[in-house]
Amino acid sequence: MKINWFKYAAPTAFYPLAGRLVPVLAVAAAALVLFALYWGFFETPERLGGTNPQKEYYRIIFIHVPAAWMSMWLYLVLAAWSAVGLVFNTRLSFMMTNAVAPTGAIFTFLALWTGAFWGRPSWGTYWDWDPRLTSELILFFLYIGFMALHSAIDDSRRADRAAALLAIVGLVMLPIIYWSINCPDPNNCAALHQRSSLTDIESNILTAMLVMTLGFWLYSFAAAFARLRNIILLREQDSAWVRTMVDAAGAGGPANAGGGDALDANRRGVSA
């Protein structure tokens, strides 16, 4: 069996596919998030180990950790599509980077925001220039920089390449964020932020956290695909397939028969 892997590399083919995926992904994401919220708030133990009750602000873990993971994962996706776009010069890859960036920026902001509201009761401060917090803040600025650079250049193909390069250079932040708390020698880590270890977490708390991560991940797919469809429509609005699609949808316009200039008719002929 021969599969044409490049079929969906064309915006024409990907647009309807994404349209079918978005509602499915959105519903699945909502279901997982709701389940994780229920599990996190009602099925977790009141006390761990000793007799002291859990301090309730720990529940921020159910969104803080998933948001922080998504912020780094989406940056990796952003940089990967940037690299694919630069190497193969495929339009859809660059559109994908623009579709992912705002969602990544939102999750980065949320990681910082939820962290601040966790830090205040546990460390006594909303913000500290701790290595982990600072490097995550720089990641946020990288997302903002990517979007700002792209929108500052009028020619979209030049904007694509410039922003893609910035995204790849910014990759340097990911290992810095990771090792800002997980450094090989703990004595070298002057971090306020606690080290991460999945094996030390109570299983119900871990369940809620991982299900929430899956929910955020599916949400990111849904949001990125929905944005990708908008970008495709905007960039391809003069192409024959968008025109025929809009005409077919009616849009309250006059019937195709008779209307349209010669160029229009010509383009339709090509697409058919």
Binding residues vs other proteins (CB under 8 A)? 26, 41, 53-57, 59-60, 63-64, 67, 102-103, 106, 109-110, 113-114, 117-118, 120-121, 219, 222-223, 226-227, 229-230, 233-234, 237, 242-243, 246-247, 249, 251-254, 259-261, 264
Give the closest residue to 222 by CA, choosing from 26, 77, 5. 26
Closest CB to other proteins among 88 and 117?
Answer: 117
Closest CB to other proteins among 79 and 223?
Answer: 223
Give the closest residue to 128 by CA, choosing from 194, 72, 71, 196. 194
- Alpha-carbon torsion angle 31, 118, 41, 212, nearest 10: 20
Q: How far is the CB of 54 from other proteins (least distance, A)?
A: 8
What letter represents residue 83's amino acid? A
* 78 exposure class (CB count in 10 Å sphere: 0-12, 13-18, 19+): buried
Closest CB to other proteins among 89 and 256?
Answer: 256
Closest CB to other proteins among 84 and 97?
Answer: 97
Q: How far is the CB of 235 from other proteins (least distance, A)?
A: 10
Q: How far is the CB of 168 from other proteins (least distance, A)?
A: 25
Q: How far is the CB of 149 from other proteins (least distance, A)?
A: 21
Q: For residue 217, what are its two tokens?
A: 């991940």
Name the DSSP class of 180: T
Backbone angles phi, psi at 237, to 5 degrees: -65, -20
Query: How big is the chain, counted in residues?
Result: 272
Closest CB to other proteins among 109 and 179?
Answer: 109
Tell me how far apart the alpha carbons of residues 33 and 86 are, in angstroms, rounded to a whole number: 35
In order, the DSSP letters of 59-82 are GGHHHHHHHHHHHHHHHHHHHHHH
Tell me how far apart the alpha carbons of residues 229 and 92 are, in angstroms, rounded to a whole number: 11
What letter represents residue 98's amino acid? N
Closest CB to other proteins among 131 and 215?
Answer: 215
Q: How far is the CB of 8 from other proteins (least distance, A)?
A: 20
Q: How far is the CB of 56 from other proteins (least distance, A)?
A: 4
Closest CB to other proteins among 146 and 189?
Answer: 146
- SS3 category, 89: coil
Q: How far is the CB of 91 from other proteins (least distance, A)?
A: 17
